[in-house]
Amino acid sequence: MSEYHRSRTANQVKPENTALADDLRANLKGKPTRSGFNRSFKHEMWSFLSDVLKVVIVIVLCIGFVCGGFGAGMLLGYAASTKPLAVGDLTTTGQASQTSFVYDIEGNQIAKLTGSENVDRVYVSFGEIKHTYIDEAVVSIEDERFYEHSGIDLKRIGGAILSALAHGGTATYGGSTITQQAVKLISGQDQHSTSRKVQEWFSAMELEQHLSKDEIMELYINLAPMGNNYVGIQSAAQNYFGKDAKDLNIAECALLAGLPKSPSYYNPLRESGKRNCLRRMRIILRKMYELGHITDEQYQEALNTNIEFKSRDANSGVHVNSYFAEYAISQVIGDVAKSRGISRALASTIVYNRGYHIYTTMEPNVQAVLDEAFTKKDLFQTKPKKLEDLPEKPTGSMVVINSETGAIAAMQGGYGRKTQNLVLNRATSSRRSPGSSIKPLIDYGPAFELDLIAPGTIFVDEKVYLNPSKPKVAWPKNYSRKYEGPITVRKALVTSKNTVAVMVWNEVGGETALWFLSQVGIDKLDSNGFVYPSQAIGGVGKGVTTLEMAAAYNTFASGGTFTQPYAYTKVLDSDGNVVLSANPTTRRVYSAETCFLMADVLKGVVTTGTPSNYGGQIKNDKGGKIDTAGKTGTTSDNIDKWFCGFTPYYSAAVWYGYDNRLRQTEIPSYDYNNAVRIWMYCMNKIHKDLPAAKFEKPDTIVTAEACSSGYTPNDACRNAMTVRSDYYVAGSSLIPDPDAPCPIHVPSPTPTPAPEEEDGEEE
């Protein structure tokens, strides 16, 4: 026994005098093979941990032997599936930026695109700003070994993993290099998955093979998000400091280098964001000093520099593009990104700087009418003095579609003169409740197509209980709160009866109704994808855009074919080569018979409803009639007003209301009809030189008489004047059966004359 053990034994209390000792002896068997007190606590812990480590190593090796082939296969699979980056013309190094142009359908120039005119993203070559400290600032905070690695930094990746382990799964910094971040900015892919990360590694190494470090840095500083929709160092410098990137000082370079990590958190235009970005700026300056990119004198001077935020005038030297031109450019950017597999940010840079020629579908004469109408105050404010105290004024949007091609002919995104680029386009970006204007698309159109109704089909307009969640509460209610009893589909749609609309929707089925709606370009009325009866009358959560409504109604005008609305026909590069050609999605949704029946019914809205007060059916300058169909739409709270309609030439939709940015504003009663007024004003001017035209009636449309009861009329029906003639599809089961005459109106029996008395003989 060792001296240590002997001394400890001598000083211990004898166990035989304790109850615990008795218990230990009773349960103790055998003898120890070595002393339990000959090693320290740290020694014991290390022994334990080493044993655990050995077990873990064995398990990992086993898993590695078993799964190694599978893991390697996975890595090879990820690598093989990595899409090669389209690195051609990604940078402007060694070449000058070229102006791109936008043209209308007649070849007239409507917009000129240069970096200087696009305040949100302005491309600048690395050579122009290399003398500044922007690259040193970016390298210091994002990737200090940028000029040493080949695309990925194994040391940084390992550090990020250890950082995550030390901080409960959240790393204090990322493992991505500047090259990897450039890959994400080029591809637009940022999903958090193992496969994407591995593919990103391979893409980064590939990018390093094709581009120099300066070119990669150029891509990064031009594509990095800088907050407030600003992209790239040049737009950030102009909009935050009122200067070009080439004039940035060290402190400003450090501040801008810190923004891409979290543009919203470090937003210099917010007070809290300004404090955050200034703190980060000082951290970056310290890193720049520690890495030797700046001297102690420069470091101290930068710390003491007063940062002045001075935004550049958003309109200085900038041509303001129309809503149409901006939407067409946006479509081109999206299609370039999709065709080349790159991000929208990079696609935008290419479109603005590569001398593209974009030929749009804008019809100048049609667009001129909308431009003029949307500056007419009397169309938007019938009583301006009563609106003076409102926090915002009414506005609207309108889209006109060429019925033959399905192309966008004209667009307006707001009332008044457009004073800035890239402002809210209400025609394409504002989603509003459609009210009753949705009824032809979700109720009656599908029902006509499925042969469930005809214009003469009878429904009973009465108090109903069609809300499954509240079966004891009368719903829906008509706008007028009145009921008319038996009523035809034609009259129910023209007078916008909510009761009948929901009944028809029930006949179609909610899922089927939404399917038809998706076929005309409106995927979901509710963001959650639920089906509920109020959708039948415009009760929606997600809302619709003016462009969507115009394109959906154009399906009826075109004879049943939906065309995904498009704004350009082709894009050529500076050498005249075709970059893109319009290839709009089309699909057959409705038969020609359904379209004619719908158009004929909706003509009644124009001739007898509110539009009749503003001209009704359109006439050209020579008095020739042009068939006009349409439907009004009003939300129950009078927040939104719509008119959507079409002629044989054009389809158009108008939304009218308030943006409601500050508070929800109800449209006053004297402005209720402004959507109709705007639509009729524009469409009358658009059609003034067009020939008279009618909606084409298919040969399969027949005329049949029906009693108001829905049955084949008899003489009693005629005497009661309940007979009306209407259109039906030939062979439809909805045509009144001639062998089933009306049982409601029964002819009165012909009275039998009394027999004549014979003259008696005289006696």
Would you please indicate which residues are annotated as catalytic (active-site) residues? 142, 436
* DSSP character string of 711-731: SBP-HHHHHTT-EEEEEEETT
Q: From CA 115, how far away is CA 99, in angstroms rounded? A: 8
Q: In what order do the strands lie in the sheet with 357-360?
A: 109-113, 100-103, 357-360, 568-572, 578-581
Alpha-carbon distances, residue 316 vs 124, 321, 420, 421, 676 (angstroms): 19, 14, 10, 12, 38
The per-type count for the chain, helices as H runs and strands as E runs, is: 26, 18
Alpha-carbon distances, residue 72 vs 151, 195, 199, 290, 762 (angstroms): 21, 13, 14, 40, 134
Q: From CA 448, how far away is CA 493, in angstroms rounded? A: 12
Q: From CA 230, how far away is CA 238, in angstroms rounded? A: 10
- Name 449's Cβ contacts closer than 8 Å, sequence gap at least 6: 516, 589, 590, 591, 594
In 477-543, which ranges are continuous DSSP H helix?
489-494, 498-508, 510-519
* Nearest by Cα to 667 from 690, 694, 691, 642: 642
Provide the b/e sequence for 561-599 (b: ≥16 CB within 10 Å). bbbebbbbbebbbeeeeebbebeeeeeebbbbbbbbbbb
Report whether 113 contacts 329 (CB < 8 A): yes
Report whether 252 contacts 234 (CB < 8 A): no
Report whether 400 contacts 352 (CB < 8 A): no
* Nearest by Cα to 617 from 701, 726, 695: 695
* Nearest by Cα to 86 from 177, 151, 183, 180: 183
Q: From CA 416, how far away is CA 398, in angstroms rounded? A: 13
* 1: Cα separation from own chain's centroid: 82
